[in-house]
Chains A and B, each alone.
Chain A
Amino acid sequence: MKAARTAYPIRWRVMDALEAVAGILWPRFFRAGTPYLMLAPAILLVGLLVLGLWQMADASFRTLDTNTFLLSEDYSLANYKRAVTESLFITVAGRSLVGSIIVTVLTLVISFPYAYVMVRTPSATLRKFLLIALFLPFFIGQVVRAYGWLIILGNQGMVNEAFGLIGIAPMRLLYNYPAVLFGLVQYMMPFAVLMLAPALTAIPEEIEAAAGSLGADWVRTFRHVVLPMARPGFVGAGLVVLTLSLTDFAIPAMLGGGSQDFIANAIYDQFFRTSDQGLGATLALLLVAVGSLLVGLVFTLFGAGTLAMGRVKA
């Protein structure tokens, strides 16, 4: 008996039992459905979002009754009309759109050299240092980072104190448009570098050397070889930075001090200040539509690039 037990260890028995249970729960002829069963939990989780969009759509067609502070029972397009005609929302939308385009350009300009040096440097130590410097703010979160900028740029902040030491009068560096844009560029840089780096890794170093030996200086090599070949990275990075900065909440709220609201802040105010859920839902849906349109446009023009999650196509 003893010999038999060692010959067939307990672990095997457990595995056999598990296989039998799996066989009963999911018989052989279901085999073709296995991938769908594996996808089901993720699809259900994302289903919550779709349900949320549906409920937002429902709320967006109901107007707020200012007497009872309840949403109306009947549907109308009044919220949509308000959203596209009221000057407050047009100003906020314009500010967000212009801001996110400026942020995207600046972020790509600063991130490309960073990603390039990180990928190309022969020193493993330097590469690790650059990676850690990139991941640390990425993992710290927006609130703490914005808090750091408040300490640095505030009226009694480090920069103004330093100005005082050399005799420059303190300036108001916070709560204006450039401060918000600056904060957004800092917030977006890790995203951009992480999307650019794989695209740069894919460019063989020999191609740059070849361009050099054919007489191109480094500026021309960059312009005609590296930048065009890194296009998938620029598409991915640009798309992520554009949509994330267009829809950001924390940075405009904390570094803009209420005077530099982006769309997300206006939506938040509709829900939590004016309590007009209908109009808030309308604005949020319009933002979702603009965001999806941007993503869809870029995907159809350039493909999903570094954002794809499927099988590697042979």
Chain B
Amino acid sequence: MSGNRGKTIVLWIFVIFGLVMLSAPTLVVLGASFTSGNIITFPPDGFSLKWYAKIAGASDLRGAFLRSLVVASICTVIAVPAGTLAGIALSKYAVRMEKTIQVYLLLPFTIPLIGSGIGLMLVLGNAGMLGQLWPVGLACCVINLPFMIWAVTASASGLDPDLELAAANLGAPPLQTFLHVTLPAVTPGIITGALLMFILALNEFLVSLLLVDARIVTLPVQIYNSIRSIITPDLAAISVVFIACAAAAIFLLDRLVGLDIFLKSK
């Protein structure tokens, strides 16, 4: 049918355009990191790993990367229990003022990032807590918390409440019911949420920029500060660290829960 061929052609023109646009920066950064020249040129000057050797020896970049990992870990450690409990409470119980609580918990998502960042900067600054890493992790947790709650509610809605009643009926006290029935049922959501929180905090730029000072810059801020001057391949090599982390997160997500869950209708 020629009609269907037209549909396929039109759709694929858009899809290929989208694919190129999505992938071009990643591929170019990957390619540029392997150049043997001192500046990034096209076509590339040849293949070498010297920029990786250079960043491995740069203590400021290594420090920034470690700090980003610390921030992401703190964020995940706070977000997982808080988001899991809230997600289960919202999806299982008839909570009074449910609408209000939902809108309230969506605030981190509806308040623009620059607004949240400035607000948290004022709060943490007035409390004298700036200049350390854990407030940055805490801030990343606050601004991304809806992602954790969404992930948990999405899998908690698949849990049949009768299962918990059955467990209680068989004599399981509340804590055991929670640990052996409720929690395993929402585990896919917890894994998805935890991965999202970790990777979003690892990449978080604006809130980091507002909350860190020169001594504790995180890696995205470090890259941003270095970009102003000339574009050299060492930045491409350090960016590949992010690409590797993203690839690892996608691999884990696919292995543990399957990427297809993002296509499911609610």
Chain A residues packing against B (C-beta within 8 Å): 15, 18-19, 22, 34-36, 38-39, 41-43, 45-46, 48-53, 55-56, 59, 109-114, 116-119, 127-128, 130-152, 154, 156-158, 161-162, 185-186, 189-190, 194, 197-199, 201-202, 217-218, 243, 246-250, 253-254, 263-264, 267-268, 271, 277, 280-281, 284-285, 287-288, 291-292, 295, 304, 306-312
Bound-state CA distance A136–B199 (Å) is 11
Residue contact B107 to A49, C-beta cutoff 8 Å: yes
Residue contact B22 to A39, C-beta cutoff 8 Å: no
Min CB gap B19→A, angstroms: 6
Residue contact A45 to B145, C-beta cutoff 8 Å: yes
Bound-state CA distance A82–B98 (Å) is 39
The A interface, classified by DSSP as helix, strand, loop or mixed, is helix
Bound-state CA distance A151–B7 (Å) is 35
- In the assembled complex, B163 has its CB within 8 A of some CB on chain A: no
Determine the chain A residues whose CB is within 8 A of the CB of B209 once the complex forms.
249
Determine the chain A residues whose CB is within 8 A of the CB of B231 once the complex forms.
147, 150-151, 154
- What is the chain A residue whose CB lies nearest that of B114? A264
Interface residues in B10-29 (C-beta closer than 8 Å to A) = 10-12, 14-15, 17-19, 21-26, 28-29
Determine the chain A residues whose CB is within 8 A of the CB of B83 once the complex forms.
42
Min CB gap A296→B, angstroms: 9
Determine the chain A residues whose CB is within 8 A of the CB of B199 once the complex forms.
139
- What is the chain B residue whose CB lies nearest that of A162? B42
- In the assembled complex, B187 has its CB within 8 A of some CB on chain A: no
A39-B95, A41-B86, A114-B14 as given contacts; A185 in contact with B6, CB under 8 Å? no
Which 3 pairs, one residue from A and one from B, show the smallest C-beta to C-beta distance? A52-B119, A148-B25, A141-B203
- Sample of 11 further A-B pairs with CB below 8 A, known A42-B105, A131-B260: A45-B78, A45-B138, A46-B105, A55-B119, A110-B17, A114-B14, A132-B259, A148-B26, A198-B265, A247-B115, A284-B112
* Interface flags, B107-137, vs A, CB<8A=1, else 0: 1111111111011111100100000000000
Residue contact A202 to B265, C-beta cutoff 8 Å: yes
- In the assembled complex, B69 has its CB within 8 A of some CB on chain A: no
The CB with the most chain B CB atoms within 10 A, among A42, A161, A250, is that of A42
A117-B11, A140-B203, A287-B112 as given contacts; A52 in contact with B90, CB under 8 Å? no
A35-B93, A139-B246, A308-B102 as given contacts; A218 in contact with B4, CB under 8 Å? yes
Residue contact B23 to A133, C-beta cutoff 8 Å: yes
Residue contact B260 to A144, C-beta cutoff 8 Å: no
Determine the chain B residues whose CB is within 8 A of the CB of A243 once the complex forms.
110, 112
- In the assembled complex, B88 has its CB within 8 A of some CB on chain A: yes
* Interface flags, B200-228, vs A, CB<8A=1, else 0: 00111110011000000000100110010
Residue contact A110 to B266, C-beta cutoff 8 Å: no
* Interface flags, B163-179, vs A, CB<8A=1, else 0: 00000000001111000
Bound-state CA distance A271–B247 (Å) is 36
**Which listed residue (A48, A109, A271) contacts B123, Cβ 8 A?**
A48
Min CB gap B154→A, angstroms: 9
**Which listed residue (B6, B43, B112, B142) contacts A48, Cβ 8 A?**
B142
Residue contact B176 to A147, C-beta cutoff 8 Å: no
Min CB gap B171→A, angstroms: 12
A137-B23, A218-B6, A267-B114 as given contacts; A55 in contact with B122, CB under 8 Å? yes
A141-B220, A247-B113 as given contacts; A147 in contact with B239, CB under 8 Å? yes
Residue contact A288 to B105, C-beta cutoff 8 Å: no
Residue contact A144 to B242, C-beta cutoff 8 Å: yes
- In the assembled complex, B56 has its CB within 8 A of some CB on chain A: no
Bound-state CA distance A197–B259 (Å) is 12
- What is the chain B residue whose CB lies nearest that of A266? B114
- What is the chain A residue whose CB lies nearest that of B151? A309
Residue contact A19 to B114, C-beta cutoff 8 Å: no
5 intermolecular pairs with C-beta atoms under 8 Å apart: A52-B122, A112-B14, A113-B14, A136-B246, A147-B227
A56-B119, A287-B114 as given contacts; A41 in contact with B82, CB under 8 Å? yes
Min CB gap B218→A, angstroms: 10
Residue contact B22 to A284, C-beta cutoff 8 Å: no
Determine the chain A residues whose CB is within 8 A of the CB of B92 once the complex forms.
35, 311
Determine the chain B residues whose CB is within 8 A of the CB of A158 once the complex forms.
28, 42
Determine the chain A residues whose CB is within 8 A of the CB of B4 once the complex forms.
218
Residue contact B15 to A292, C-beta cutoff 8 Å: no
